[in-house]
Amino acid sequence: MIAQDARNQILDLAKYIEMINNQVAQINNMVEQLNVMNTQNRAFGNPAQLINISGAGGTIQGLHTGGVGQAPSSLERAASGLDSLRNNSNGTYQTVESVSLSGAKVVRSVDSYRRFGVIENTTSNYGSVYEDAQRRRASAKARMAETLCRLQSAATASEAQKLQGVLAGEAAELQSLEQELSIAAMQSVVQDIANRNDVFKQQQAQSEDIVADRQDALMKFGILMAPDVSNGLRFGRNRQ
């Protein structure tokens, strides 16, 4: 019985050693897996820890920044015929004088010059938009160049992905600035078309007025020249 108990203890000890060996192997596997995960974490990075990406703040602010361009209705309301008569675009054009070449005083219809004032306002608006867009473009391009440099030296995949998002936002900002310029330029073109249309409309209306005046004059002339048979003196008759 003692010998049997000894053999049983030896078997139990062998099973226990085998169990310990299995546990050690499992622990080694877990340690290896943990090392692999740590290596992957170092390579991919933790996106939650990348809160302040360089360039993101400036891009967000740039996308939220409104342009300096004005709406066509605002430009029309601000137009002044008197200002248009005095405007020479910083000496580029000649000011409309109030006297003729002979020195006679010229009475001008100021309101009729508002259409030119609107065109001048839209071209001035385009100049303001252009200067503002150029300044903002220079800032956006500088931030884009910085983002590309940071993207080249990104240490983790998460950082690279977020920098690519910033780069896409900066590209969208540049495209938005190009659209602001196009809209401002189109305002001038559309307003010029509207002015030309009004000139043709006024010319047609004036032509119709001339035709109507001529018809009225011919009708009155015909009545004047028609013989009045009831007037005896006109035909040499005495109605006494």
Residue 198: what pLDDT?
81
Q: 187-212 burial string, b = 16+ CB within 10 Å, else e?
A: bbeebeeeeeeeeeeeeeeeeeeeee
Which residues, 6 or more positions from 68, have their beta carbon under 8 angstroms from its beta carbon? 128, 129, 132
In a domain, 7, yes or no: yes
In a domain, 236, yes or no: no
In a domain, 239, yes or no: no
Determine contact, residues 144/107, Cβ cutoff 8 Å: no
CA distances from 67 to 24, 26, 74 (A): 68, 64, 15
- Work out the mean pLDDT of the chain and round it to a whole number: 78
SS3 1: coil
Residue 68: what pLDDT?
74
226-229 contacts at long range (C-beta below 8 A, 24 or more positions apart): none
Co-location of 83 and 201 in the same domain: yes
DSSP, res 112: G
Residue 28: what pLDDT?
76
Domain that holds residue 15: 1-44
CA 36, 37, 38, 40 torsion-angle sign: positive
The pTM assigned to this predicted structure is 0.58
- Structural domain count of the chain: 2
In a domain, 4, yes or no: yes
All residue ranges of the chain with pLDDT < 70 are 35-60, 62-64, 101, 227-240
Residue 240: what pLDDT?
47
For residues 108 and 96, give the distance between their C-alpha atoms in angstroms, rounded to a whole number: 10
